[in-house]
């Protein structure tokens, strides 16, 4: 598969304002972002509690191009503040595999 044949049907993102400002705001794409909590960064950076997450509806109301009809594969409740870096990589790999399985390449 060459990159010239890849057609992107949607973007996936973690639901935090920090990541939205980094990835969604500068995006020139007309494709809406789909929110997946398990795409969030390694939790070892956080001490004792998760940051505040924004719902897809809240992000949409703030002007972000978010797919509010999408039902995420993952849940914030699945995040474990005690995860190791190895568990983070396992989590990230697994959610990407699940996203790809639900959205097979059609090219």
pLDDT tens profile 45-78: 888 888 888 888 998 898 888 899 999 999 999 9
Judge whether 66 and 32 are in contact, CB under 8 Å: yes
Bridge partners of 11, per DSSP, are 33
Q: Residue 66 is encoded by which pair of tokens? A: 């978010």
Question: What is the DSSP annotation of the chain?
Answer: --GGG-----EEE-S-HHHIIIIITT----SPEEE-GGGS--GGGSSSSPPPPPPHHHHHHTT--B-TTPPPSS-GGG--TT--HHHHHHHHHHHHHHHHHHS----
Nearest to 85 by CA among 49, 21, 41: 41
**Whole-prediction pTM:** 0.69
Question: Which percentage of the chain shows pLDDT scores above 70?
Answer: 70
CATH class of 9-102: alpha beta
Bridge partners of 66, per DSSP, are 33
Domain extent listing, the chain: 9-102
Query: Which of the four pLDDT bands, split at 50, 70 and 90, describes residue 7?
Result: very low
Range with the poorest average pLDDT among 9-13, 59-63, 85-89, 91-95: 9-13
């Amino acid at each position: 598969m060459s990159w010239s044949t890849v057609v992107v049907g949607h973007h996936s993102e973690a639901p935090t304002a920090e990541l939205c400002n980094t990835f969604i705001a500068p995006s020139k794409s007309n494709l809406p972002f789909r929110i997946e909590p398990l795409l969030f960064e390694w939790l070892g950076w956080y001490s004792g509690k998760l940051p505040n997450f924004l719902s897809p509806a809240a992000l949409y109301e703030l002007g972000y191009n978010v797919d509010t009809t999408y039902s995420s594969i993952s849940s914030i409740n699945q995040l474990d503040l005690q995860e190791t870096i190895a568990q983070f990589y396992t989590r990230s790999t697994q959610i990407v595999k699940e996203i790809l399985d639900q959205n097979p390449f059609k090219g």
